[in-house]
């Protein structure tokens, strides 16, 4: 088993599949009255969050607690440069406290890679800047697999601000490892110039929808408007938002995903978000199972 999960590139197909299979076993637990496993009793998992993200933090917290780990929440808001101690000093502190795993969310890309140099335990990337969010990709893959029965050969459209999206980066890597075919869609300003050959690029959402099994909408921050990535929220929504007429262009079986939090009315219409096609709430539930599987396997749970 790998020691750290810093990037979806750390996962080969076998490892990723093992995580998804393990997550399915974990999910079976949540139907029981007692949801707890003793697997990580006596182990310490630190949630080191430099960015506010209640949903991701409680998802990891729930995952660790269901495995009986001791959980320490370390909220280190604000940059390590402007105030407070450096990431390295924080790492040494966590090391001294005997952290077996550190789950890190940070606004700087690559912070988990730096952290892994300074702690002996496992490092799990819970989102780093505009780099990656590998457990999100795993829960997305898990959701696709449980809804559609497979990943190999699936056609997945990832729509929106790919340039700044850590969710998109991790999904492109993981989905291509697992045999899915990814097309990224968005205005050219929000698609990186030198995208990997692991994904196709399209600027035309309407053309891509009829041939998609999955359409994953990314959150688009309205701040991007001020920086001239697109002229207005209205124009963005008109060209790249998923509304009801566009939903009808999808094949019958296709699902709609969103990593949340959503801008209803911007990249996704409320009727679409709440439709039976949408897996948005399911994704949240699957997040706990997948993160249980990751912690269990990284920490060699038994």
The residue annotated as part of the active site, out of 36, 55, 238, 253, is: 55
Report the residue from 166, 219, 224, 291 that binds another protein according to the rule CB under 8 A.
166
Token output for 228: 């001239």
Is 147 among the residues that bind another protein (CB under 8 A)? no
Question: Which residue, 109 or 275, is less far from another protein as judged by CB?
Answer: 109
Q: Does the protein bind another protein through residue 128 (CB under 8 A)?
A: yes
DSSP 211: G
Q: Exposed e or buried b for every residue in 3-17, given b needs 16+ CB within 10 A?
A: ebbbbbebbeeeebb
CA–CA dist 147, 129 (Å, integer): 30
Does residue 192 bind another protein (CB under 8 A)?
Answer: yes
Q: According to the annotation, is 186 in a ligand binding site?
A: no
Q: Is 262 helix (H, G, I), strand (E, B) or coil?
A: coil
Query: Is 105 annotated as a binding-site member?
Result: yes
Q: Is 95 in the site for another protein (CB under 8 A)?
A: no
Binding-site member from 30, 196, 222, 232 for another protein (CB under 8 A) = 196
DSSP one-letter string for 84-145 = S--HHHHHHHHHHTT-SEEEEEESSTTHHHHHHHH-SSEEEEEEETTTB-HHHHHHHHHHHH
56 annotated ligand-binding residue: yes
Q: Could you tell me the two tokens for 100?
A: 């077996």
225 touching another protein, by CB under 8 A: no
3 is a contact residue toward another protein (CB under 8 A): no
Q: Is 105 a catalytic residue?
A: yes
Task: Work out whether 146 is an interface residue with another protein (CB under 8 A).
Answer: no
Buried b / exposed e across 195-213, counting CB within 10 Å, b at 16+?
Answer: beeebeebeebeebbeebb
Write down the least CB distance from residue 109 to another protein, Å: 4
Q: Could you say whether residue 189 binds another protein (CB under 8 A)?
A: no
Q: Does 93 bind another protein (CB under 8 A)?
A: no
Question: Do the Cβ atoms of 48 and 103 come closer than 8 Å?
Answer: yes
Token pair of 291 as six digits: 């993160």
Using CB under 8 A as the binding rule, whether residue 132 contacts another protein is answered as yes
Residue 143 has phi, psi (to 5 degrees) of -65, -45
Q: Is 133 a catalytic residue?
A: yes
Which of 68, 93, 130, 221 forms a contact with another protein (CB under 8 A)?
A: 130
Q: Is 219 annotated as a binding residue?
A: yes
**C-alpha triplet 287, 291, 297: angle, nearest 5°:** 150
Tell me if 169 contacts another protein by CB under 8 A. Answer: yes
Task: Output the smallest distance, CB 46 to another protein, in A.
Answer: 18
Which residue, 65 or 198, is less far from another protein as judged by CB? 198
Distances (CA, A) of 293 to 249, 272, 281, 302: 36, 30, 19, 12
The CB-of-122 to another protein minimum distance in angstroms stands at 18
- The answer to whether 143 is a known catalytic residue is no
Q: Is 260 annotated as a binding residue?
A: yes
Residues 43-82 that bind another protein (CB under 8 A): 79-81
Contacting residues toward another protein, per CB under 8 A: 79-81, 86-88, 106, 108-111, 113-114, 128-132, 166, 169, 192-196
Binding residues for L-aspartate: 83, 166, 219
């Amino acid at each position: 088993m790998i020691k750290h999960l810093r990037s979806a590139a750390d996962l080969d197909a076998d490892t990723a599949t093992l995580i998804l299979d393990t997550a399915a076993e974990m999910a079976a637990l949540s139907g029981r009255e007692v949801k707890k496993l003793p697997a990580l009793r006596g182990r310490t998992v630190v949630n080191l969050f430099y960015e506010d993200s209640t949903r991701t933090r409680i998802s990891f917290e729930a995952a660790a607690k269901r495995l009986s780990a001791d959980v320490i929440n370390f909220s280190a808001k604000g940059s390590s440069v402007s105030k407070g101690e450096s990431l390295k000093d924080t790492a040494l502190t966590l090391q001294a406290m005997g952290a077996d795993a550190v789950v890190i969310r940070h606004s700087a890309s690559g912070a988990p890679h730096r952290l892994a140099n300074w702690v002996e335990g496992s490092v799990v990337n819970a989102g780093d800047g505009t780099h990656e969010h590998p457990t999100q990709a795993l829960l997305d893959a898990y959701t696709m697999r449980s809804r559609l029965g497979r990943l190999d050969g699936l056609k997945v459209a990832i729509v929106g601000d790919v340039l700044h999206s850590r969710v998109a980066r991790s999904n492109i890597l993981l989905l291509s490892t697992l045999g899915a075919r990814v097309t990224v869609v968005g205005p050219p300003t929000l698609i990186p110039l030198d995208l990997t050959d692991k994904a196709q690029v399209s600027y035309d959402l309407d053309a891509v929808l009829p041939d998609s099994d999955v359409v994953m909408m990314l959150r688009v921050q309205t701040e991007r408007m001020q920086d001239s990535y697109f002229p207005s929220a209205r124009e963005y929504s008109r060209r790249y938002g998923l509304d009801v007429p566009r939903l009808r262009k999808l094949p019958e079986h296709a699902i709609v995903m969103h990593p949340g939090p959503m801008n209803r009315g911007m990249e996704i219409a409320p009727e679409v978000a709440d439709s039976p096609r949408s897996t948005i709430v399911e994704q949240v539930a699957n997040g706990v199972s997948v993160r249980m599987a990751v912690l269990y396997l990284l920490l060699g749970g038994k």
